[in-house]
Amino acid sequence: MSNSTAVESIPEEFWKQLRMSTYIAVGTAAMALWDLVVNVENDYLILSRKMVTIPTLAYFLCRLSMLGTAIADAVFLTLSTTKCKEINLTMESFLFISVFSTTLLLYFRLKAIYYHNRTVIIAFFILWVITVGCTALLFRQREVLYIPDPLTHQHVCLYSGFDFTTGILNLNAILVHDTLVFIAVSLELFKNSHLDFDGSTEMGTVRASSGTNYSAHITGTILNMKQFFSGQNLPAFSRAFLRNGQIYYLISLLATITTNVIICTPVFSIPGMKNVPGLRIMFFIPHATLISAISCHAFRQVRFGLIHELAEGPILPIRTLRKPRAVSGQARVGRTEIYDCGFKSPRVEGVMMIGNEPQLAC
């Protein structure tokens, strides 16, 4: 297709999908703006603190790029202009920054958990770099042009081509990254709860006679798997931290599956316009916006201690941040200050000192 394409030769299905794509883009921009507005107070509190850390910078980069991506996509489809390539480049740049910062926040989450394991930190940093590298391919995915609208006679921007191979690669590279980080964090939290995978715990081992070892092993494995996913025996903060990550990963998984299905569904193809992606690519931006919003939500929950289960039990140490005043292994209950990546967090009642130092994740 070229700019000289006769408008009369464009099928009605194209205009129908263009209108639907516009509604989706505007709705996504409204969602991103709403998320920014309702969290203005929380964002101000983060900015008003004296220390600004790299995770905080990544958080605000994620917030702004999420909004920029959604607005640029809406402008591309609604504004009558001939600057379609420039707007598309702006949108792709914001999208790249959004993926960069969202996955970086997730990496910081893992780094806080594995502060003691340099090998894991380096391995997942390499994974993060690979994921961001795959995302950089999005700058070669789309071909854009503009044509006159038959009703208004104004210029309309559209995608005349799309590389679905790199698109699917980018989408699923992020899912692989999220999956591996989620599994790694969950396993470390599970280990720190003094559970293991042979069906035993330090606080209640499944015992059986030699004649029922197999049955006991099966029972113990089922029990451990249940505890692995529910965080039943974890201390309060660790349990909430686990569930926080589970919510993020579940939304990421469902959103990615939905986007993959829509991309690969032939019913959304436009008859006579094989190279025009139409509605099939319009869920890329909502997908990225949703994942960024959930990632920022998870960051705020930990940063402000909004996870309600904090008050229900002791906190499992996750990251070393300062020397304790209590004896190793001693519980210190009362008005205690804890730190999260350079910020003094709200005071928490009943902090459990385990090991040498109190710790908290980003």
pLDDT at position 61, please?
95
Q: Which residues pair with 343 in a beta bridge?
A: 340
Is the per-residue pLDDT at 292 higher than 70?
A: yes
What is the fold, at CATH topology level, of the domain defined by 7-193+234-309?
Rhopdopsin 7-helix transmembrane proteins (1.20.1070)
Domain boundaries, given as residue ranges, for the chain = 7-193+234-309
Q: Are the C-beta atoms of 177 and 132 separated by less than 8 Å? A: no
pLDDT at position 276, please?
73
The pLDDT of 296-303, averaged and rounded, is: 86
Residue scoring higher pLDDT (289 or 345) = 289
Q: Please give the backbone phi and psi of residue 204, each rounded to the nearest 5 degrees, phi first.
A: 145, 85
Q: Among residues 31, 62, 57, which one has the least CA distance to residue 46?
A: 57
Tokens at 279, concatenated: 């509605």
CA angle (111 as vertex; 107, 113 as ends), nearest 5: 120
Give the separation between CA 223 and CA 200, rounded to whole angstroms.
9
Helices (H), 79-148: 84-113, 118-135
Which of the residue ranges 233-237, 265-269, 323-327 would you say has the lowest mean pLDDT?
323-327
pLDDT at position 187, please?
85
pLDDT at position 346, please?
38
Residue scoring higher pLDDT (140 or 34) = 34
Gyration radius (Cα) of the chain, Å: 25
pLDDT at position 357, please?
34
Q: Are the C-beta atoms of 142 and 171 separated by less than 8 Å? A: no
